[in-house]
Structures are given as C-alpha cells and as structure tokens.
Structure 1
Amino acid sequence: MAADELKSVLNRLRRAQGQIAGVIRMIEEGRDCEEVITQLAAVSRALDRAGFAIIATGLQHCMAEEGQVDGDRDRMRARLEKLFLSLA
C-alpha cells in the first residue's frame, strides 16, 4: 500500500477507534439504547469504508501488474472478490 493510501486507511481506523471508545463510555454511563446503536452503526460504517479502501487499493495494484499470467490474475481477482463479499 502506498503511503498516502495507508495514511487514509489509518485515519479511518483511528476515527473508528475513537468512536468505539465513545460507545463504551455511553454504555458505562447508561445512555439511551437508541443513541448507542446509532453510534455503533457509525463505527460499523467507518470500519467498512476502511476495508473497502484496502480492497480497492489491492484491486488497483493487482490489475496494474502487467507481468501476471492469466491464472495468477484470476486467482487474485477471486481472492479480492471473496474479501469484498466478506464486507458486504
């Protein structure tokens, strides 16, 4: 992963980490269930976006490699598709 791509993913993950800490605090404080669930949904979306960014980067690098033989490219595409579907 390139440095700028890595930085973007790390920022997303750090943001999600902060959101998770906030959710834990909310639960400890006995906050309303609806508020907690809303924040959990936001964390889930942030993690999904980080995962999609990683997969998209992998796709770019995979498809950009011209030296790959068709079998390797097909296996890589299948692996990336499986990863993508695991997040869907």
Structure 2
Amino acid sequence: MSYQFKKLGKNVRFDIYSKFSYKQISIEDDVWKGTNIVNLKGITIAEGSISAAGSLVAKSTYFYPIYKGVPAKFYKFRWTENEIKEHEQILKKY
C-alpha cells in the first residue's frame, strides 16, 4: 500500500485524533504515527510530523518532518520551505 504523505494540500489522516493532549503529550494536526510508536511525556508532536513505525520519540518535533529510529532522529522534511507554504495556503482555502 502506498500512502500519499507528500501531496500538497492534503492532510495525512491516519490517526483518529486531531489536536489533543494526553498525559502531557500534545499532538497537533496532520500527524502520521506509525505502529508501535513510543512518545515520552512532556513532548509536542508538531503539525505535519511523521514518525516511522517502532520509533521512540523523546523530544518535541519540528513542523513537517519525518522522524525515525530509537531514539527518533530527524530524517528529512516532507517538503521544501516553499512547498510547506504552498501546502498551508491550499489548506486555508478549505
């Protein structure tokens, strides 16, 4: 199965929650969490973040990154800075 996490103007919606806090973990919109993720308390998963399956997220994330590993480390951004701006402009229209 192929997921479209790079399509501008489309949120990834693989989580039933949107903008919530639970046990001192804040998760913003447009977040994709792979299976068996461990989030340590007191962190914020920023808008547009992707955490790869099996990752241990110990620190708050940036906007629109991909993290992977134990502990989770920044891998790359989903898009360039200009593409992020375009994505956010498209989302504002809806």
- TM-score scaled by structure 2? 0.25
Specify which structure has the bigger relative contact order, considering alpha-carbon pairs within 8 angstroms and separated by 6 or more residues: 1
More strand by percentage? 2
- TM-score scaled by structure 1? 0.26
